[in-house]
Amino acid sequence: MLMLPGFRGYQAREQRREADRIVRSYIYDVLEHSRDDLMRCFQVLSDNKITELIEPINRTVAKVDRVAEKVNHASYGYSGFFDAIKIEQPELDNMLAYDTQLMDSARKFAEAATALRIYLEQSKVEDARNMQQALDTSLGSLELAFDQRKSIIEAVKV
């Protein structure tokens, strides 16, 4: 519970929309930091004349941009959802657990993006290639989980 910024927002109904914004802001910031690491990879690839990974990493950067903007521009609390209903403690706990998992997935993605940059800096091209493919898969899973977040929120009983 302490890991989630703005946790108190899950407890006070009037602050749920703010908690939703904080969760999405955290994920967005983590993805933007990851994007920075991936952009640094281009410099390393260029310096070492490793062209085979430029296009795959470019696709991953584009996907990071798309997912980050999706997270950033999602409606706060899904169009007033948090204002309109009474949410009981078990549902709040489920939402908290889901958001905590989502944030953890974003953090792990960021760690993998940093590892990719480090592999490239150390000229571990095969490891970097494998990491790039894993990053793509991880980002797809993160996006799917974020998309499913709305259905988790809407599953709460009125």
pLDDT tens track, the chain, 158 positions: 455 555 554 455 556 677 778 888 999 999 999 999 999 999 999 998 989 999 999 999 999 999 999 999 876 554 444 444 555 667 777 777 888 889 999 999 999 999 999 999 999 999 999 999 999 999 999 999 998 887 776 665 44
What is the Cα–Cα distance from 10 to 74, expressed in whole angstroms? 18
Task: Find the DSSP H helices in 74-88.
Answer: 77-84
- Calculate the CA dihedral of residues 100, 106, 111, 112 and round it to 10 degrees: 130
Please indicate, yes or no, if residue 2 is contained in any of the structural domains: no
**Token pair in block for residue 154:** 């809407």
Say what the pLDDT of residue 59 is.
95
**CB-based contact 102:145 (threshold 8 Å):** yes
What is the number of structural domains in the chain?
1
Please indicate, yes or no, if residue 8 is contained in any of the structural domains: no
**CB-based contact 19:9 (threshold 8 Å):** yes
Please indicate, yes or no, if residue 1 is contained in any of the structural domains: no
Q: What range defines the domain where residue 83 resides?
A: 14-154
Predicted structure pTM score? 0.79
Please indicate, yes or no, if residue 51 is contained in any of the structural domains: yes
